Structure 1
Amino acid sequence: MQHQVTRSVLAFVPDALSASQVGTWTTDVINDRTVCDAAAAALFGVDPNLAAEGLPLAAYARVIHPDDRAGFHDKLNRVREHGGLFVVEYRAFPAPGDRRWVLARGRYERDDRTGGMTGRGIVIDITESKLDGRAEDRAFFIAEEDTETPLERAAACAIQTRQAIDEFDGPEGLGLRRSVDALLLALGRALARRVGASEP
Structure 2
Amino acid sequence: MRSTVLQVAPSFVLGALAASQVSTWETDVARGVTATDAATAALFGLDARAAGRGLPLAQFVDAIHPDDREMVRDRLAGMSEQGGLFVVEYRTCPRPGTTRWILARGRYERDPLTGDMMGRGIVIDITDSKRDGHAEDRAFFLIEEDPIDGSLLDRAAAQAIATREAIDRLDPGDRSELRQVVDLLLVSFGRALARRLG
Q: Decide: shared fold, TM above 0.5.
A: yes
The answer to whether the Cα contact below 8 Å between 1:26 and 1:118 also exists between their aligned partners in 2 is: yes
Cα separation, partners in 2 of 1:82 and 1:95, compared to 1, 3 Å: same
2:187 matched residue in structure 1? 181
Once the two structures are TM-superposed, the CA of residue 57 in structure 1 deviates from its matched residue by: 0.9
The answer to whether the Cα contact below 8 Å between 1:109 and 1:117 also exists between their aligned partners in 2 is: yes
The alignment yields a C-alpha RMSD, in angstroms, of 3.7
2:156 matched residue in structure 1? 154
Q: Name the aligned partner's letter for residue 156 of structure 1.
A: A
The answer to whether the Cα contact below 8 Å between 1:105 and 1:188 also exists between their aligned partners in 2 is: no
Cα distance per residue 1:102-159 (max 9 Å; x no partner):
000010112345332111001100011112444523455433x674754334223544
Cα distance per residue 1:55-107 (max 9 Å; x no partner):
11111111111010001101121122101102110011112222110000010
Cα distance per residue 1:150-188 (max 9 Å; x no partner):
433422354466x98xx979xxx8xx9778534322135
Residue-pair matches, total: 181
SS of 1:90 mapped into structure 2: strand
Task: Give ranges in structure 2 of 5+ residues lacking alignment.
Answer: 169-174
1:75 matched residue in structure 2? 75
SS of 2:94 mapped into structure 1: strand
Cα separation, partners in 2 of 1:168 and 1:97, compared to 1, 3 Å: farther
TM-score (norm 2): 0.72
Q: Name the aligned partner's letter for residue 32 of structure 1.
A: G
Identical aligned residues as a percent: 48
Q: Name the aligned partner's letter for residue 80 of structure 1.
A: S
Partners of 1:180 and 1:83 in 2: CA distance: 21
Partners of 2:149 and 2:72 in 1: CA distance: 22
Does residue 137 of the first structure (1) align with residue 138 of the second (2)?
Answer: yes
1:117 matched residue in structure 2? 117
Once the two structures are TM-superposed, the CA of residue 20 in structure 1 deviates from its matched residue by: 4.4
SS of 1:94 mapped into structure 2: coil
Cα separation, partners in 2 of 1:8 and 1:111, compared to 1, 3 Å: closer
Task: Give ranges in structure 1 of 5+ residues lacking alignment.
Answer: 194-200
Once the two structures are TM-superposed, the CA of residue 46 in structure 1 deviates from its matched residue by: 1.1
Q: Name the aligned partner's letter for residue 29 of structure 2.
A: V
Cα separation, partners in 2 of 1:127 and 1:4, compared to 1, 3 Å: same
Partners of 2:28 and 2:121 in 1: CA distance: 12
1:9 matched residue in structure 2? 8
The answer to whether the Cα contact below 8 Å between 1:26 and 1:34 also exists between their aligned partners in 2 is: yes
